[in-house]
């Protein structure tokens, strides 16, 4: 074969290999759906996609906004033979205020002529308004999400883990030690907001069967109200947030200033 023709044929074959992923809808295999379907303000929204487990590269997924559209860029430059199994993955889009939002799944790859992008799928979701308070009731709602792990940096070893839902409920777990240095777990629930930055509620101690037992007997779980807790959140210098944490366990009240751990 003539050397020039041989090189041209090889070049064409290489170009076909590079172009194959962009030409075939192999990575994203099923229509994308938004989870949850009807999110609330402050609620984290994910895009659930059915993808090829071999060709999908999670480390190369990019989420951005372009011209008012949320774009999820998926690398289609990975070719597998044979194809992988179909799996579902969630891609975090973020949390949004009330409104309607459009999402585009964009496949990208590289070819001999340069980067290639193509529209793979579209989705849309709407963030509804906060649920109105019942008539005749006074209802406070927080303006920020205080979810995270909180601690006092000078007292490493104990801490408070907070989960705040988009529907303004709050659940927290407190890990401390008793007078004998034994680990103690408490939950703080259900409670409620007494202002947009102040939450208070009961504190519970829970005991139960050994975690490595042959079987779990729920009848052995004991939930005991043992005190109360108050969280007062405050904006602090440098863009941080602190909380004055007041809690009572078995009649002993403790007051701590805690900050959210930047993980």
Per-residue pLDDT reduced to its tens digit, 167-215 = 789 999 999 999 999 999 999 999 999 999 999 999 999 999 999 999 9
Round to whole Å and give the CA distance between 153 and 151: 6
* Confidence (pLDDT) at 15: 44
Has residue 12 got a pLDDT over 60? no
Task: Report the mean per-residue pLDDT for the chain.
Answer: 89
pLDDT confidence bin for 16, thresholds 50/70/90: very low
* Confidence (pLDDT) at 18: 42
For 105-135, the pLDDT digits (tens) are 999 998 888 899 999 999 999 999 887 766 6
Has residue 23 got a pLDDT over 50? no
CB-based burial label for 101 (10 Å; 0-12, 13-18, 19+)? buried
Nearest-CA neighbor of 75 among 103, 46, 101, 52? 52
* Confidence (pLDDT) at 132: 72
Has residue 5 got a pLDDT over 80? no
Q: How many helices (H) and strands (E) does the chain have?
A: 1, 16
Taking CA 86 as the corner, what is the angle to CA 84 and CA 88, rounded to the nearest 5 degrees?
Answer: 130
Has residue 53 got a pLDDT over 70? yes
Round to whole Å and give the CA distance between 134 and 86: 46
Chain-centroid distance of CA 71 in Å reads 18
pLDDT confidence bin for 14, thresholds 50/70/90: very low
Average pLDDT over residues 162-171: 90
Round to whole Å and give the CA distance between 115 and 240: 41
Tell which wins on pLDDT, 8 or 136: 136
């Amino acid at each position: 074969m003539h050397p020039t023709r041989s090189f041209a044929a090889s070049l064409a074959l290489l170009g076909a290999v590079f172009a194959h992923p962009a030409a075939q809808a192999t990575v994203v295999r099923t229509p994308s759906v938004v989870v949850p379907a009807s999110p609330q303000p402050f609620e984290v929204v994910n895009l659930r996609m059915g993808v090829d487990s071999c060709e999908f590269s999670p480390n190369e997924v990019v989420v951005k906004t372009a011209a008012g559209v949320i774009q999820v860029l998926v690398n289609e430059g990975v070719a597998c033979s044979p194809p992988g199994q179909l799996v579902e993955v969630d891609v975090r889009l973020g949390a949004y205020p009330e409104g309607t939002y459009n999402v585009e799944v964009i496949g990208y790859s590289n070819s001999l002529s340069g980067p290639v992008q193509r529209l793979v799928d579209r989705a849309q979701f709407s963030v509804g308004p906060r649920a109105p308070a019942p008539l005749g009731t006074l209802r406070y709602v927080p303006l920020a999400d205080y979810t995270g792990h909180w601690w006092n940096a000078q007292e490493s070893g104990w801490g408070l883990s907070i989960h705040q839902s988009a529907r303004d409920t709050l659940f927290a777990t407190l890990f401390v030690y008793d007078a004998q240095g034994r680990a103690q777990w408490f939950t703080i629930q259900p409670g409620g907001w007494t202002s947009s930055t102040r939450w208070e509620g009961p504190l519970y101690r829970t005991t139960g069967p050994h975690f490595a037992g042959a079987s779990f007997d729920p009848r052995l779980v004991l939930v005991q109200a043992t005190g109360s807790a108050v969280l007062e959140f405050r904006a602090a210098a440098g863009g941080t947030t602190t909380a004055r944490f007041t809690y009572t366990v078995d009649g002993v009240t403790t007051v701590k200033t805690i900050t959210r751990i930047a993980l």
